Chains A and B, each alone.
Chain A
Amino acid sequence: MSSASRPGHHSEVTLRVNGKPHTLRVDHRRVLLDLLREDLDLTGSKKGCDHGQCGACTVLVDGRRLNSCLLLAVTLDGSEVTTVEGLGGDGDEPHPLQRAFLDRDAFQCGYCTPGQLCSAVGMLAEAAAGHLSHVTDPAAPAEGPVPLDRREIRERMSANLCRCGAYPRIVEAIEDVI
């Protein structure tokens, strides 16, 4: 008997996506990215590689940036997920970072953009919480937020590929909201 027809192949999960609760019966093989795109029709999160290599699928799970293509949906019961569609909150106003991306022309084809945005939001929170990066000065104070210069931003955003090469403008847009 194939795995697909075996009993226990699906489970029920409840998660909040952009503030709204959703209870779904999900295939155990389903990743969060496909849950968002296929089950909830939230196609803002992009599938660039499906293997955690490009970052286009980056979303915030309980405030942390993660590759949604690598997260099995069944493991996320009770999680709070924010996608690009939810960055602006309830209102019509975009997130300041979305505005900065538009002002700086920090995208071209737009396919990596939702991942860049979610990653940047998560990255700013990490730095504010004092998370170090590979390029953080070891002599810097151990406590408190890490100041973000361009080198820090580039290092911390390097899991988000952009084939159009919008990187310099993305860095400027992030600097605009710091």
Chain B
Amino acid sequence: MGVQEIPFYTPLLLLIFVVPMAIINNKLGIGLNKRIIYALFRMTVQLVLVGFFLQYIFLFNNLWVNSAYILFMIGAAGLSTVKTCGLTIKNQFIPIVIGFGVPNLVMILFINQFVIGLDNIFDAQYYIPLMGMLLGNSLSGNIIGINTFYNGLRKNERQYQYRLALSANQWDSTLPWYKEAIIACMNPIIASTETIGLVSLPGMMTGQILGGSMPMTAIVYQIVIMGAILISRYFGIHFSILLTRKQAFDDYDRLII
């Protein structure tokens, strides 16, 4: 049993409900109309483009094409991190991309090889969507963690300097904020891992069930992806901070980003 195909025009039916939303916003002066319309429009265009693109990638299903697409995803996520965290792109793009690209890449190949046991671990059907899930999670975790670390140091500059003055080395002097960053990065994912299934059915599971998988199959995949997300997010934030901090301090251990 496969999923019921949707004709391309019926999603437009949902717009029926957007009309009253727009009227309510208008009447109450809630300035969301423009943003809602823009978001829906952009989402549609983006997904259609990705859809076309993925159709072709799935058609080729070639190691190099698939990996190039994955690298593109990693690059986009890296750029987003660098921009959101206000790091200078010139110095920090490569460290960030390596910092969370590598743990996620290792994780996806490990899952495909040992957990799912695919014949072709670069098979687009698994490689691309699963990597997308890992990267998406790592991305938000990285942004939280990196911001916590560098902002913590910036806000507590005097305390940081005092630790240096006591002759802690740079690592020891920054340790309190490093720990804070790891905790801040992991907190949301630990919370969602704890409550998953109780509050909402996760997206991947929903998709698989709609696609015709038995719930137990979907559940096993969900368990794998939740574990993988938690693990790669953890290593991703460690690597990202460790690699970015190399260029974040001057010779005097002063924060310069």
The answer to whether A and B come from one shared complex is no
Q: Which residues of A contact B (CB under 8 A)?
A: none
